[in-house]
Structure 1
Amino acid sequence: MSLRLILVSASLAALAACGAPDPDQADRAPASRPAPAQAGAPVLTVAQIEAGVPQAPAAPGTAAPSSAPAPATAETGAPAPATPPDAGLVRLQILLDRTPFSPGMIDGLAGDNTRQAIAAYRKANNLGSGDAADAALLQHLAAADTARVMTQYVTTAEDVAGPFSPPAAGELADIARTGTNFTSARERLAERFHITEALLQGLNPGVDFRRAGQTIVVPAVTDTPLAGVARIVVDKTERSARAYDAAGKLLAFYPATIGSRERPAPSGTVTVTGVAPEPDYTYDPERVSYDRGDRKVVLPAGPNNPVGTVWIDLSRDTYGIHGSPDPSKIGKTASNGCVRLTNWDAEQLAAGVKPGVVVRFI
């Protein structure tokens, strides 16, 4: 039996409830025409990252360090963000990602997802409270995981071959017609290595990600599946999902997007009923409470499907834990009631669950 059939077809219809694209995602304008890559110095070197220690937060009222305008990127022609990444935070985020106390996307920038992952890791490892990204925390992480945090990768023909889809825009029927694949080889590689496209390009200036045979530097992520998940706690206030084993040990922490004021996530306790890798997404106006038109639309499976690359079905009808087409928004926007993780975090969690696993919403 195909893995995709682990979840019965009746439950697959539940994907209609919470996978609707966020308004700002559904109406994104198409990317601009690709521009040639421009060579230059990388925003950070591998040596800087391998030896990096997070910088102390700037004092209130202190201006953030500035950087020169970034060169045009290889596939969109748009400049990278002006805020320079912190080598120490890149290193810390990679080490957290491998624990796995996920910081979400690796970007080298301070943010709530990284702070919450730090706080969870500290508590789980008896390192005190708080969310400070200091040298002591980094030493603890590095002592437990001595492998290098950066590695090299050579782009392959498969990486660049596609098929690719245009950025999601317009009506659901338009997205169904154009597909839900990655929009570019660079987006595919960024997701594979859990890194933002801006930082991936910044670490590899002059690289045209549309070409095979390019040697690039990337985070040395591991994607180790979880095993033995007995209980999941979804914290709607913290915007996180935590996985525990049968003995109560915290196995993993993930930042999450969880419902909204208009369409809140469930409360109380539910259970996992199954897992659907590479799910379709069905919008059925007879089953949902938000308006995306009056016609039933089925979007094909793909990493930029509204529910991402995997769906963990819950016993509350039409609700689940699932992936996302836009990992940069995890923990920062609302959802239509479900629990949304990055695709790689959702896949890792899905590998460790089975029907009957308890999911508690607090």
Structure 2
Amino acid sequence: MKIVAYALVGIVGLSSFVLAAPQKLDLGSVNKAEWPAKSGRDKENEIDPALVRTQVLLDRARFSPGVIDGHNGENLRNAIKAFEKERGLKPDGSLDEELWAKLNETSSDPALIEYTIREEDVKGPFVDIPDKLEEQAGLDRLGYSSPEELLAERFHMDVDLLKALNPGKSLDKAGTSVVVANVEAKPALENLGKAAKIEIVKREHVLRVLDKDGALVAVYPASIGSEEKPAPSGTHKVRAVAPSPNYTYNPDYAFKGVKAKEKFEIKPGPNNPVGSTWIDLSVESFGIHGTPEPEKVGKAYSRGCVRLTNWDVEELSKMVEKGTPAEFID
């Protein structure tokens, strides 16, 4: 299936909340992290074990924080707000003792586990991805650029966090035991059933999944349109789901830095401009899709489309079907 979609531009700001002073980062400190009785500002470049645990627990409960990185940020605050509201707490986005208790009730599984790197994780082929779209069109596949990127995406992690948890370890060598986020310890999708409706909340930069009773099933951070190419309003429908989509660039888009005057096509892969999955909506050239830059989701604007992390859009694609309503909320 050929996909025509908009690209990602711009940056929106982050906000932070108060946490405990940083401590040693390893499997034990994250799995045993407690709600901080003494609080202090989280420094910009420090990874907090309590935040890593919080993000993993939210991910497993399907209140996605986006990339698990151990840092404060808008995606984490929005995930906390959604969780608080669904659990009957004050939705202020703060990590406090009451929220911490509710989060830990969702799962008793450890936040981090050890994983042994397999041959298929490191055999490649890995690809140097050009910055320019025209040059990407010359590749046979937009695959991962390294084993580190593959592992980080599989476990919903930031590459820097993966490396910080595994200092001195060879992430490109089969047989290496590494510490990763235990994101697979979540209820099976089959138990959730199909989504009755999805809501794209523009101001909050989130996509919400509802069941037939109107109950919240999942929340994902999203990049949603821009002033230049605003997302639509109103209710539309899912037309189709395309895993591993091609991307077709239309010169009518006139993206900055793209000089092509004719349409061209970019092959599939996780680093394709629309990521690993495309969910087509009943709006011309508009859909919900993945991204080659998961760390920018919710923190950057797209040119009209709804952009999720690859793992979130893949999960969403299993919950929607042709005809599922998609409402854009201003």
Q: Same-fold call, TM > 0.5?
A: yes
Matched, 1:103 2:70: no
Map of 1:148 onto structure 2 = 110
Match of 1:183 among 141, 145, 161: 145
Aligned letter for 1:193? F
Aligned letter for 2:93? D
Match of 1:173 among 115, 134, 142: 134
Cα distance per residue 1:152-209 (max 9 Å; x no partner): 1111111111111113313x23112234111100000000000100010000001121
Map of 1:256 onto structure 2 = 222
Q: 2:8–2:300: 8 Å Cα contact kept in structure 1?
A: no
Cα distance per residue 1:264-289 (max 9 Å; x no partner): 11111110011000101111225x46
Aligned-partner Cα distance in 2 for 1:107–1:204:
14
SS at match of 1:177: coil
Aligned letter for 2:276? T
The 3 A distance-change label for structure 1 pair 163 and 43 is farther
Aligned letter for 2:138? R
For 1:114-153, what aligned pairs fall within 5 Å after superposition? 114-153=76-115
Q: Percent identity?
A: 41
Match of 2:28 among 32, 41, 47: 47
Q: 1:227–1:351: 8 Å Cα contact kept in structure 2?
A: no
Match of 1:321 among 259, 264, 288: 288
For 1:212-251, what aligned pairs fall within 5 Å after superposition? 212-222=174-184, 224-225=188-189, 227-251=193-217
Map of 1:204 onto structure 2 = 166
List gaps (5 residues or longer) in structure 1: 1-8, 25-41, 66-81
SS at match of 2:121: helix
- TM-score, scaled relative to structure 2: 0.89
The 3 A distance-change label for structure 1 pair 311 and 57 is farther
Matched, 1:347 2:328: no
List gaps (5 residues or longer) in structure 2: 12-22
SS at match of 2:103: helix
How large is the Cα RMSD of the aligned pairs?
2.1
Aligned letter for 2:245? P
Higher strand share: 2
The 3 A distance-change label for structure 1 pair 260 and 58 is farther
Map of 1:93 onto structure 2 = 55
- TM-score, scaled relative to structure 1: 0.81
Aligned-partner Cα distance in 2 for 1:22–1:157:
36
Aligned-partner Cα distance in 2 for 1:311–1:270:
16
- How many residues end up aligned between the 2 structures? 311
The 3 A distance-change label for structure 1 pair 254 and 21 is closer
Map of 1:311 onto structure 2 = 278
Aligned-partner Cα distance in 2 for 1:92–1:248:
26
Aligned-partner Cα distance in 1 for 2:98–2:8:
41
Match of 2:120 among 158, 163, 169: 158
Offset, 1:43: 5.5
